[in-house]
Structure 1
Amino acid sequence: MSQPTYIAGVGMTPFKSPKNSAKSARNPDSDYFDLAVEAAVKALLDAGLTYDDVDSGVGCYVFGDSTCAQRVFYALGMTGIPITNVNNYCSSGSTGLYLANQAIRSGQSECVLVIGFDKMYPGALPQIFNDRTNPLSRILDLSKTLIPEADKGKKSPGWTPQLYANAQAEYLQRYGNAGAKNEHFAKITSVNRAHGVNNPYSQLAKTVSTKEVMNSPVITGEITRLQCCPSSTGAAAAIVCSEQFLKSHPHLAGSAVQIAGQAMSTDTPLLFEPPSAIELIGSNMTRLAAKEAYKQANITPRDVTIVELHDCFTTNEMCALEGLGLADEGKAWKLVQDGGISYGPGGGVGLDGKGWIVNPSGGLISKGHPLGATGLAQCTELVWHLRGWATTRAVDQTKYCLQHNMGLGGATVVTIYKRADGKPVPKAEDIKAEDDGRHRLGYNPAVEARSISKADWEAVKSRSGGSSKWATAHLPWVIHGDDYQERALL
């Protein structure tokens, strides 16, 4: 048995550099759990619900000990609900969404709160456990054999840049004669950074030119620093509910967004055989998940208008454009060259003369990439678009949005969203705040990033007796009260 699944509420914190989000005199209490609780409070406020409405929870993160999720959820209430911890590398957040979707579709749950968060380390991704087998060791070992001759013998900049530099070199070797150039990879950064300027949650909200990207310091191979996403700290959350829950809460009718299709895939032997640097970054997972998600939604790539895809490096965006069916194999560089991934007359020039708006949030390269939060931040952005809230980066007549979140090792989730009414997004002047839920927040979170107050937290925390002062005493808004908002915004 299966039933429709909906996103009833979303929320996120601004993504920041780990250097700027650590405890400081201005924000002395910043930690993963209060960032995560803040995102959850925003999602509950957005949905007009309290924690007592939630019958299951999923917490998603990479850098943290076991049961971090409980530490977060207990700050909202201790109601005894099942809480699951997810660590699926960069796709942890969307894996949490996938689990929530499965729980709803099976009838196991009616309302699931999914929270993604990470407090990362500055610089390249570290390998935390050095006394046991690295789950990516076979990928990394094979990657070393695929390093281009020009890069052999050079000091490694870290395992992730090398993987994507190898893939970029292979892409250029395959399609360079057709016209693919390093400039096309650099242009992806320029486009995403331009989009990020309009997102108040972006970590790097400053434009850069293609030339500036190419002239930034080389990390390895042809990848420069500005072609890499930054390390980030932040959180995002989503409330996933059933059709029956939606009907019993009629105030959600104007703001709920349906999951029209969703698929999760892992690797096949193509990851290793025959050896390919492009396959080592999980390209086949994208193809498999996209094919199934389109099938479930009964659409093709041509029906999608807005895409949030996993651009941890520009190489990954180039390959994902093809894996998602937005460009034919070996032709994504031309889609980028011709403006088919950004705003412009006709929205670019993709397949059949149609383009897509890719990463209107700025993507990982601009918005940032706190691993556990990324998939839920992508979901948040697309929900705002389908509601018609993302006015600074909106696309008229959007009907379907696509999310692509992947993690090496590996897991990839592709999700397709549509409005609950099945219609295209109406024009901004035709949307009334009292009909689409913005009045519940008192502002439009898609264009304005605010912190929460103690009153916000109190409005959504458990009222059924499932609260503990011991579990909440150290929350910053409990300690500082109304002064917390001012501190957090500094």
Structure 2
Amino acid sequence: MSHKVIVAGVGMIPFAKPGASDFYHVMGEKAARQALADAGVDYGAIQQAFVGYVYGDSTCGQRALYPVGMTGIPIINVNNNCSTGSSALFLARQAVESGAADCVLALGFEQMEPGAIKAKFTDRPTPFEEFDRVTDALVGHPEIPLALRYFGGAGKAHMDKYGTKLETFAAIRAKASRHAVNNPLALFRKEVTVQEVMESPAVWPGVMTRLMACPPTCGAAAAVVCSEEYAKKHGLNTQVKIVAQAMTTDFPSTFTSKDMMRVVGYDMARDAARQVYERTGIGAEDVDVVELHDCFAQNELITYEALGLCPEGGAEKFVLDGDNTYGGKVVTNPSGGLLSKGHPLGATGLAQCYELTHQLRGTAEKRQVEGARIALQHNLGLGGACVVTMYQTN
């Protein structure tokens, strides 16, 4: 039997620069308590918990949740790179939908270090060996940090194929900053112009500037999900439902297509979105608001096409026509996205859930997308996994 899944409560703490945040377990505890309070349930009602983080020792989830309560429930720690938060949400939703549990907590947090992401274990093969081999062959530039080569290479592939201009990526970053001005939880709340983005230091000349990349960030976010029956029985808020969710991993095309857009997950995103649209009968044209994985402005642009928000090759026009913001076709990243809100890896997917839940409740204040009823979430982790979630309100 399949049970309808409700997002009953969400919590999120302000995102911060490395060194300016609490320790991971304090951030996680705060976000969990917020989600429980927002749902109006005690920790004793939680039957399972899925806790996501990338950089941390085993059982950090227990360390964060034990101060909230020690009830003996299963606590499962999750690591799926940058899609970790949504992977925790995927497991929580699956537990409720299947009937294995009635009320479940998904929690994500990250305590990051300054600088570019790098491997923690150098005495064993990296899971990115094949990604690195293909990237070396396609783009070269070994002097550039890998994440920048991956996503800068994807942006360059789009530029080469469709004639996309660097200024278009700068416009995406400027849009993110305008949205983040109204988000009190965002790391960067200063508006920047297209010119300022273009004039920021080049990390790959002609391909990417520093402001086109998201910053290392610390933070935490959480969600309480439950069955519709449980919510109604206990008088919980039933406004927001998860109506479909799909997780994909890499296809052979990631490595065989000789296309950097596919190396960074284009096909994963496209297939996950296809599954969600088919299961709901709701198309991309029906979506009101999107939180998508803009770890780099380049990834936001190619994801418009992967999710079907615009035709393949149509992303530049989509941006220049203003169809990605208020007054356009679909508001993307009203939170400010990863580019301005920040990207604490384990928390990102649940921070997206937090934003979309408030959008569908009509409680997003100055960020509110008028009349929002259908929301789409895209969270990507290289290595790889992609989670696409569709939410709907009554």
Same fold (TM over 0.5): yes
Q: Which residue of 2 aligns with 1:464?
A: none
The CA deviation at 1:396 is 1.7
**Gaps (5+ residues) in structure 2?**
none
Q: Which residue of 1 aligns with 2:379?
A: 405
Distance 2:373 2:77 in 1: 33
Q: Quick one: which of 323, 330, 343 aligns to 2:313?
A: 330
Cα separation, partners in 2 of 1:251 and 1:282, compared to 1, 3 Å? closer
Q: Which residue of 2 aligns with 1:224?
A: 209
Distance 2:151 2:371 in 1: 35
Give the alignment of 1:154-233 within 5 angstroms.
156-176=143-163, 180-221=164-205, 222-233=207-218
SS in 2 for 1:261: strand
Are 1:342 and 2:334 an aligned pair?
Answer: no
Give the alignment of 1:54-453 within 5 angstroms.
54-147=46-139, 152=140, 156-176=143-163, 180-221=164-205, 222-253=207-238, 256-343=239-326, 347-348=327-328, 355-419=329-393, 422=394
Q: Which residue of 2 aligns with 1:447?
A: none
Distance 1:155 1:52 in 2: 51
The CA deviation at 1:91 is 0.3
Q: What code does the residue aligned with 2:357 have? A: V
Q: What code does the residue aligned with 2:10 have? A: V
Distance 2:195 2:51 in 1: 40
SS in 1 for 2:28: helix
The CA deviation at 1:252 is 2.4
Q: Which residue of 1 aligns with 2:17?
A: 17
Runs of 4+ in 1 over 3 A off after TM superposition: none
The CA deviation at 1:20 is 2.3
Q: What code does the residue aligned with 1:81 have? A: I
The CA deviation at 1:155 is 5.7
Distance 1:39 1:166 in 2: 35
Contact kept in structure 2, 1:156 and 1:162, CA below 8 Å: no
SS in 1 for 2:388: strand
The CA deviation at 1:251 is 4.0
Contact kept in structure 2, 1:261 and 1:295, CA below 8 Å: no
The CA deviation at 1:19 is 3.3
Contact kept in structure 2, 1:196 and 1:362, CA below 8 Å: yes
* TM-score using structure 1 length: 0.79
Q: What code does the residue aligned with 1:32 have? A: Y
Between 216-225 and 371-380, report the one with greater CA deviation. Answer: 216-225
Distance 2:236 2:297 in 1: 41
SS in 2 for 1:200: coil
Distance 1:186 1:123 in 2: 21
Q: Which residue of 2 aligns with 1:452?
A: none
Q: What code does the residue aligned with 1:112 have? A: V
The CA deviation at 1:207 is 0.6
The CA deviation at 1:191 is 0.2
Distance 1:381 1:164 in 2: 25
Distance 2:81 2:178 in 1: 27
Q: Quick one: which of 22, 30, 50 aligns to 2:42?
A: 50
Distance 1:215 1:400 in 2: 37
Deviations 1:382-418 (A, max 9, x none): 0001111012011222110000001001100000101
SS in 1 for 2:64: helix
Contact kept in structure 1, 2:155 and 2:302, CA below 8 Å: no
Q: What code does the residue aligned with 2:101 have? A: S
Deviations 1:274-314 (A, max 9, x none): 21111110110000000111122220011101000000001
Q: Which residue of 2 aligns with 1:484?
A: none
Contact kept in structure 2, 1:118 and 1:370, CA below 8 Å: yes
Q: Which residue of 2 aligns with 1:443?
A: none
Deviations 1:338-358 (A, max 9, x none): 111111xxx22xxxxxx1100
Distance 2:154 2:106 in 1: 33
Distance 2:144 2:230 in 1: 49
